[in-house]
Amino acid sequence: MKLTFLGTGTSCGVPVIGCQCKVCQSTDLKDKRMRCSALVETETTRLLIDCGPDFRQQIMSHPFRKIDGILITHSHYDHMGGMDDIRPYCQFGKINVYADPIARESMLQMLPYCFAEHRYPGVPAIGLHEILPHQMLHIGDLDIMPIEVMHGQLPILGYRIGKLAYITDMKTIAESEMSYLEDIELLVVNALRFDNPHHSHQLVDDAIAFARKIKAPRTLLIHMCHDIGLHEEVNRILPEGIELAHDGQAVFL
């Protein structure tokens, strides 16, 4: 299984428009972060986790082939604002999208023309499926277990896919979810910045503590804002087995 990070940034992306900080002015491509999204691929199955407003730009450098499913983590625009751009992939057939009840309702409101009785020609053909935590999905040759994490007061979904756990925008997680994260090989989890606590996102130290709690042998951090610092400098000070992910990075499990 191959995991490719299409984007590893927060809702504003990096560089932030108009910002003159050292990260936003960096020439290192690893400091350029589009909104969070990832591809999970096997030889026969291709899944997209989230489809944010940068999707068109993110996917252009990847082979044009069928997307078997889109897993939505939650209803915020930076995680599903690019859904209209899946139109070219609908030539392979209707695209199945999986979302919890809150995200499903938001998508119906955001893209009403895709679900109208008389659809405008050319709009995305979406099969929208409501999913719940702990109800296993089977897509192609992949088994996906949705788990629940809290984005502040909003319950959202993370995904366990084989030995991979992909969690973004988490602030807290219930103890009852921990059993779904046993024996993973790779944890992907959000870490906004080092300082200045956020009401709905965990910081780097929170992510490190979580990784150690579930005994993840390798952890890649995502959903980082420009305040986190320069990619290379941060990776030098992170504990062994924990590092910043970057856009375009591919990992094989």
Beta partners for residue 145, in sequence order: 160
Give the whole-angstrom CA distance, residue 126 versus residue 194.
39
- Predicted confidence at residue 115, as pLDDT, reads 93
- pLDDT at position 225 is 98
pLDDT score recorded for residue 120: 85
120 or 158, higher pLDDT: 158
Q: For residue 253, count CB atoms less than 10 angstroms from its CB and return exposed for 0-12, middle for 13-18, buried for 19 or more.
A: middle
Domains of the chain: 2-252 (3.60.15.10)
Tens digits of residue pLDDT in 1-53: 999 999 999 999 999 999 999 999 999 999 999 999 999 999 999 999 999 99
Each residue of 200-243: pLDDT tens digit?
999 999 999 999 999 999 999 999 999 999 999 999 999 999 99
Task: Output the pTM of the full model.
Answer: 0.97
Say which DSSP state 59 is in: H
What is the overall mean pLDDT for the chain? 97
